[in-house]
A = this chain, B = another copy of it.
């Protein structure tokens, strides 16, 4: 099991709009093949910064199948206008699993 962790910074004043977009887009992630959970976190110490945390069965479920889907386009249509800069994304794997 892998995590996608995307660091997202909201345009100033658009924090609530970004949070609403993430809420609206959550079902798009949850119905994706290999998606086992989606959380959208505000960083306590850095106002305006967020971490999108998505659990995927494989990295390719995210990078190939989801990014190639209409649902990814819809996620970016909803949330992208509120991004201050392009998200920085990494994938991680639990070594204790």
Q: From residue A19, how far is it (CB to closest CB) to chain B in Å?
A: 5
Q: When the two chains form their complex, are residues B90 and A39 in contact, meaning their CB atoms are under 8 A apart?
A: no
* Interface 9-residue window, one of A44-52, A66-74, A75-83: A44-52
Q: How many residues of A contact B (CB 8 A)?
A: 28
- Which residues in B have their C-beta under 8 angstroms from that of A40? 94-96
Decide yes or no: A91 and B3 within 8 Å by CB, A26-B96, A96-B26 being known contacts: no
- Integer count of this chain's copies in the complex: 2
Query: Interface code A5-36, partner B: CB below 8 Å = 1, 0 otherwise?
Result: 10000000000000100110010000000000
- Which residues in B have their C-beta under 8 angstroms from that of A43? 90-92
Question: For the complex, is A65 an interface residue (Cβ under 8 Å from B)?
Answer: no
Option from B2, B44, B50 in Cβ contact (under 8 Å) with A59: B44
Q: From residue A38, how far is it (CB to closest CB) to chain B in Å?
A: 8
